[in-house]
Amino acid sequence: MRECHLSLLVCPECQATLALSQIESGDGDRVRSGTLTCVSCQAAFPIIDHIPRFVSSDNYARNFGLEWTRHARTQYDSHSGATVSEGRFFKETGWPRDLAGEHILEVGSGSGRFTEQAAKTGAMVVSFDFSFAVEANYASNGHKANVLIVQADLLKMPLRRGFFDKLYCFGVLQHTPDVRRSFLSLPPMLKPCGDLCVDVYSKKVWWVELLVKGRWIRPLTRHLPPHVLYALVNRYVRLMWPLATQINKLPLGMHINLALLVADYRGHFDLSEEMLKEWAILDTFDLLSAYYDQPQTVQTLQQWFEEAGLDDIRVHLGFNGIEGHGKAPQADR
């Protein structure tokens, strides 16, 4: 982190100011390691490899730590040459391309492919994740002057409430233990009239969930050590690839491949064969490894937006399941 970003952080326990001490090594104004101490309750949090850590990496999201460090660049547009992440970020949020002067909060960054997009707007981007995926994000985006990357839990954010102009949270909520509670933790971070944009997987009919979403095998796979499951998925997808190539040519071939546990995006994304295989390994592992996977309905997400008291609510099916948009109420309400 940079010393000048300290004012963006607060104590996750009591919301008081944090003081930076014991800087063990510095690099310009970038702090490689040190300690953040709460001036009020004295809680202390380490900075390790440039990243303030408010949680340990040994938690239910450790599969994502492995996923996003093994595939640190796979879904980056700047790696694939495609515009998949850029297209999704701007289409889904509906935000302008120039947001200089604003503060954006990204909740659950994974490898940081959307951090890259948010940073391009010129806004100050604060991005965090529960897992050690933050290390992949730091490697790609941490050098940028307008990016602060933190490891934290969305239920205990070390960030100022009522402060952010915009907040997005893509593909995260269904992977938390209590999806409603996770959702409701987001709106308080926005300043009056601030924009919220989330997406969450949509619940399909039971047999689709069972066959195409791997529900029949997840009770086993989600308990496997991530590195063991990853090795199995890697070998399996590579072995199945020639067969999946033929199946993909059939009507509903993509869905048949998913039922066979190969996340095959041929015909969906315009990527090279090698990249499609990389995406298949990444997304098959994602499907089978997430400890929690709790898709929702449009009605439920709509209810949560209303419960949070947001204005201009729009909830609909979209790119990654269900998309929801809303605005924090004006200050005088």
Say what the alpha-carbon torsion angle 155, 29, 39, 15 is, to the nearest 10 degrees.
-20
Amino acid at 58: D
Question: Considering only 18-26, 129-137, 297-305, 309-317, which stretch makes contact with ligand SAM by CB under 6 A?
Answer: 129-137
Mark 53-72 with x for binding to ligand SAM (rule: CB under 6 A) and - for no binding.
Answer: --------x--x---x----
Compute CA distances 72 → 64, 65, 90, 176, 251, whole Å.
11, 10, 22, 22, 33
For the bound state, the minimum distance from the C-beta of residue 157 to ligand SAM, rounded and expressed in Å, comes to 8
Q: Is there binding between residue 89 and ligand SAM (CB under 6 A)?
A: no
Q: Is there binding between residue 324 and ligand SAM (CB under 6 A)?
A: no
Q: Is there binding between residue 153 and ligand SAM (CB under 6 A)?
A: yes
By CB under 6 A, the residues from 161 to 190 that bind ligand SAM are: 170-172, 175-176
* Of 154 and 310, CB closest to ligand SAM: 154
Please tell me the count of residues contacting ligand SAM according to CB under 6 A: 21
| Residue count of the chain | 333
Structure tokens at 35: 């300690």
* Of 102 and 153, CB closest to ligand SAM: 153
Reduced to 3 states, what is the DSSP secondary structure of residue 149?
Answer: strand
| Nearest residue to the partner ligand SAM, using Cβ | 110
Helix ranges restricted to H, 132-247: 134-141, 179-184, 206-211, 218-221, 226-247
Binding residue (CB under 6 A) for ligand SAM from 45, 89, 130, 304: 130
Strand 124-129 with 44-48, pairing: unpaired
What is the CA angle 194-53-25, rounded to 5?
115
Interface residues with ligand SAM (CB under 6 A) are: 61, 64, 68, 108-110, 113-114, 129-131, 133, 153-155, 170-172, 175-176, 286
